[in-house]
Amino acid sequence: MTLQQRWLLPFLFVLVNLAGCTGMFQQAATAALNAERERAGLERKEIALPDGLRYVYLEGGQGEPLMLLHGFGGNKDNFVRAARTLTGHYRVIIPDHIGFGESAHPPQADYAPPAQAERLRALARALGISSSSHLHLGGNSMGGQIALAYAAMHPDEVASLWLLDPAGIWSGPKSELAETIQSGGRNRLIARNEDEFAELFHYAMSDPPFVPRPILDVLAQERIRNADLEERIFRQIATASVEQQIKGLRTPALIVWGAEDRIINAGTAEVLHRLLPRSTVIVMPGTGHMPMLEKPRQSAEDYLHFRAALPAE
């Protein structure tokens, strides 16, 4: 257990005990999330784009903008612990993707990575980040896939990429999840009840942060409500390869992979490394699909070192 988890443990136990007496587990979960955001120097905000789509996002810090993109089924809070190390250096922006979290959920929208990337570009403009700004992108899983699509479509607008177990590189070795789905098994990334969400929590991470089961059940409700839309989104991203679009892309990139990732095989890191000529690879032992949640400080410090080594603009 990390120092961060030890700090959070007694706080969560107090909240759970309080919730057990009052029946207010939702308030307990909200209080825990708000405490994490406050410690990271992040504030919840929302904005409507000109097309009417509403984004909810976290923002904090100053400096060059760093937009962090959560993965499939995740939300903006997936990056909060890592952001605690980053907000002292950059203007950190962490949106809920359209279709997830508190942002808009248009049922018939195009959720393929290029469409999501264009929406995020519109969000960046709405937040005052122009095409000449040094926008840095980071993304986990589907978020990394979207970040790669963004950089491929607008290479002059993306200063660097932080790719944590990114999706969209489907020529790599098959993962445990891919083999399960291809053999007709259940897609374990979709949670339709509390037990499936708890199973997913431990399936996605080799070293997950401590969360008491009653709080986990509260967090599960967002996924359960969104399961039908997630099924549709998964079909779009699972067939969307970005390999041809990014081949030879010269954007500096830090590729991070959990050695024990069961969702996307860690061997994919080398495939991506060959596609991106200015990339560096870090494989994290004892880590699953979400390094920024499993080892937030190490992930963030590795990123700071990567950024410090970039040539001055």
- Per DSSP (E only), the strands in the chain are 43-48, 54-60, 65-69, 91-95, 135-140, 158-164, 253-258, 279-284
- Can you give the pLDDT at residue 8? 47
Residue with tokens 């969560």: 12
Q: Which of the residues 97, 103, 136, 141 is marked catalytic?
A: 141
**Dist CA 181 CA 267 (whole Å):** 19
Q: What is the mean pLDDT of each run of 10 residues along the chain (313 residues)?
A: 41 42 68 92 97 97 97 97 98 98 96 98 96 90 98 97 98 96 96 97 93 89 96 95 97 98 98 98 98 97 97 74
- Can you give the pLDDT at residue 102? 97
User: Options 3.40.50.1820, 2.40.40.20, 3.90.1170.50, 3.30.70.1050; which CATH number does 3-308 get?
Assistant: 3.40.50.1820
SS3 content of the chain, % helix, strand, coil (to 5): 45, 15, 35
Catalytic site includes residue 154? no
CA atoms within 13 A on the CB side of 80: 23
For strand 43-48 and strand 54-60, is the pairing parallel, antiparallel, or unpaired? antiparallel
What is the domain partition of the chain in residue ranges?
3-308
CB under 8 Å, gap of 24 or more: what pairs does 39-46 form? 39/84, 40/80, 40/81, 40/83, 40/84, 40/87, 41/83, 41/84, 41/87, 41/88, 42/80, 42/83, 42/87, 42/92, 42/94, 46/102
Catalytic site includes residue 103? no
**Dist CA 18 CA 13 (whole Å):** 8
Q: Structure tokens of 112?
A: 């393929």
From 122, 125, 63, select the one nearest 92 (Cα to Cα).
63
Quote the radius of gyration of the chain (alpha carbons, Å). Answer: 18
**Dist CA 188 CA 199 (whole Å):** 8
Strand order in the sheet with 158-164: 43-48, 54-60, 91-95, 65-69, 135-140, 158-164, 253-258, 279-284
- Cα dihedral across residues 156, 100, 240, 283: positive or negative: positive
The whole model's pTM is what? 0.92
Q: Which of the residues 70, 97, 136, 289 is marked catalytic?
A: 70
**Dist CA 116 CA 114 (whole Å):** 5
The one-character DSSP state at 78 is G
